[in-house]
Amino acid sequence: MFLLRCPSAEVIEATKTAQRTARFTYDAVGWTRDGAAPAGFAVTQWKQVIGRGEACFELAKRALAEYRMLRLGWLQPVGRPEPVATDALVCTLARQAGLYSLNVGRIIYVHDAPGLFAFGYGTLPEYPVRGEERFSVACAQDTKEVTFEIFSFSRPHSPLMLLARPFLRRVQRRFCIESSAAMSRLDSAGA
């Protein structure tokens, strides 16, 4: 949903309520769990070492569960926060090129195992693209390196967004860079 003004808390909550039972806007639901993408979708994959050791991994898990990677200034989680759980809604507000974009997705899966924490969410009708995104943090058994990874597949949701595809790809790259930077600042941010 594109807006000329920042939406009120009431508009945000009404949008979330309307999207709660909406269908996903694509058919390949859950594919990011295995790092797969359907034909015709652009793939974004970003992986970065953000620290080392079990303590860092625990901080990274907490940061992911608090949506720290979505707190970027120009992009913020909005609405009443929902814990990272299957069927929870993830609602963000982005400001780009003088427009606000209210985006609503639904968490499809959560994977919490020794050395790995991940979740994936899919787009609902109030999202400018169609597709799915997975966020994960992992701690390597041998090196104890902690990595943050984003894996997604997407394509424009409308003809207007199709025209904006080059801009969308730049925004996705910026998002990966800034999300990784946010996750890399765990110790100084008191995650």
The Cα 43–Cα 67 span in angstroms is 21
pLDDT at 161: 62
Mean pLDDT to the nearest integer, 78-87: 95
Residues 66-80 have pLDDT tens digits of 999 999 999 999 999
Check residue 170 and give its pLDDT.
82
What are the structural domain ranges in the chain?
A: 2-189
Give the model confidence (pLDDT) of 165-189 as tens digits. Answer: 666 778 789 999 999 999 998 754 4
Domain 2-189 -> CATH class: alpha beta
**pLDDT band at residue 190 using 50, 70 and 90 as cut-offs:** very low
CA–CA dist 188, 62 (Å, integer) = 14
* 3-class DSSP assignment, residue 148: strand
Q: How confident is the model at residue 191 (pLDDT cuts 50, 70, 90)?
A: very low
- The pairing of beta strand 129-139 with beta strand 145-156: antiparallel
Express each pLDDT in 141-169 by its tens digit.
Answer: 999 999 999 999 998 876 666 666 666 77
- pLDDT for res 162: 61
The model's confidence at residue 58, banded by pLDDT at 50, 70 and 90, is: very high
Of 134, 111, 114, the closest CA to residue 122 belongs to: 134
pLDDT in tens, 86-116: 999 999 999 988 889 999 999 999 999 999 9
Please give the share of the chain, as a percent, with pLDDT higher than 90: 79
Q: Residue 10 pLDDT more than 80?
A: yes
Six-digit token string for 97: 């090129």
